[in-house]
Structure 1
Amino acid sequence: MGRKVIISLFLLITLILLISAKPLLATLWDEIEPHEVVDQATVVVEGTFDFSADSMADEKTMPYCGKKFNVEKSYKRDVPDQITAGIDCADGSILENFQAEGGRFLLFLKSDPKVGLRVTVGGSNGIVKLKDGNVEEENEERREFFEEYLDDQNDNGDPWSLYLLIILGVLVVWYFISKKIRTRS
């Protein structure tokens, strides 16, 4: 074989090795039962992504990309108004399009020390799409579960309301008891 053929083969093999060594962005997540998503999450927040901000992505974070997330409501654990959430890089454009159409997200996050981010539980399993106050989900069982989850979270109310109600009840009872004592005198 000629020298040009050997060099060409060497370059071709090197090119194939370089291409195959890069991490793939397309990932496939096994479906996780909704109650497991809730159980595994250490942080649960509702809000929108800041897609105008740069993504944080490198070999360490793969398959996740760190995206700025504007927290409008926190259901589990207090967090700042803006956090960086690790989402599957392959889901970015789908989420951006959904949000552009008026969508919002409920994120179930857990810490991943290997990645250095709070990442969505089970990739896309930890992202619930919300639109007009409703869960947007094709899987009916999953949709019903997360609608019920949100209803339960919103029904908890403010604990101060309960305290005020108890104080008001005590004052009413005290008023009637003191009135009864005065009428006997």
Structure 2
Amino acid sequence: MKMKKSIAVILLGMFLSMMLINTQAHATSWAEVEPEEVHKRADVIVMGQYDFTSKPQGRNMVFTSYEFNVQKVFKGDVTQKIRAGIDGYDVGWADEFQKDGGEFLLFLEKNKEFSFLTPVGGPNGMIQISDGKVQHHNITSRAYYEEFLKKQSEKPVVKTSNEAVQNDDNDYTYLYVGLLVFSVCIGIFLILRFRKTNKKLF
């Protein structure tokens, strides 16, 4: 009887160990995705840092999300703070990387399974930037992302939605000034015409 219990305990232990290993493998092992594919799939491309002091949301077996402070926007219409996904097992090293001054160039995609944007192919969509330089183990991929940033630097930086609102206010100011000038011109025209009409009458 004791032997049967021991065998049952051993089998249960093996089963739980296999489940744990499979879960970890699912969360941490990502197939490498070519940078062209990462770029193509991205709905939003931004640069900045995760705020790991913010409350994580949307936890599941693969992704959780944190607030992400956007410094630059290369694609998509986003605010200066967004919620971006990250593999839970990547939080530790990503936090340390940022504390050392690192930033992330995120290639994010929309996914029906999540209420937040997620990096394309997990870490494939999280490009490490340190001192303005791309850090990547693959030379070809590193060259691709360096070229991407080089091309972007030649274009005007896309502004976030928060900044766009401020710009809209300026546009309204110009509109009000334009209307005021137009009204003054109409007023002067009417006064002159009124005077000319009065002269004819008298």
- State how 1:26-45 maps to structure 2 within 5 Å: 26=25, 27-45=28-46
Counterparts of 2:114 and 2:13 in 1: how far apart (Å)?
28
- 1:113 is paired with a residue whose SS is coil
2:7 matches 1:9: yes
- State how 1:1-185 maps to structure 2 within 5 Å: 2=1, 4-22=2-20, 24-26=23-25, 27-56=28-57, 58=59, 61-157=60-156
1:91 deviation in Å? 2.0
1:69–1:84 contact (8 Å) kept in structure 2: yes
Q: For each residue in 1:7-41, what CA deviation from the matched residue of structure 2 results, as whole angstroms up to 9, or x when unmatched?
A: 33333323333343345234222222211111000
- 1:105 is paired with a residue whose SS is strand
- 1:9 is paired with a residue whose SS is helix
- The root-mean-square deviation of aligned C-alpha atoms, in Å, is 2.3
Unmatched tracts of structure 1, length 5 or more:
160-185
1:62–1:115 contact (8 Å) kept in structure 2: no
1:86–1:119 contact (8 Å) kept in structure 2: yes
Could you say which structure has the larger radius of gyration? 2
Q: For each residue in 1:122-167, what CA deviation from the matched residue of structure 2 results, as whole angstroms up to 9, or x when unmatched?
A: 11111111122221223232222112211222322279xxxxxxxx
- 1:70 is paired with a residue whose SS is strand
Unmatched tracts of structure 2, length 5 or more:
159-202
Aligned length: 155
1:118 deviation in Å? 1.5
Q: How does the TM-score come out when normalised to structure 1?
A: 0.73
- 1:112 is paired with a residue whose SS is coil
Residues 1:101 and 1:45: Cα distance change in structure 2 (over 3 Å): same
Greater share of helix: 2
Following TM superposition, the consecutive aligned residue runs of length 4 or more in structure 1 with deviations greater than 6 angstroms are none
Q: How does the TM-score come out when normalised to structure 2?
A: 0.67
Counterparts of 2:14 and 2:114 in 1: how far apart (Å)?
28
Identity %: 35
- Amino acid aligned to 1:130: I
- Amino acid aligned to 1:134: K
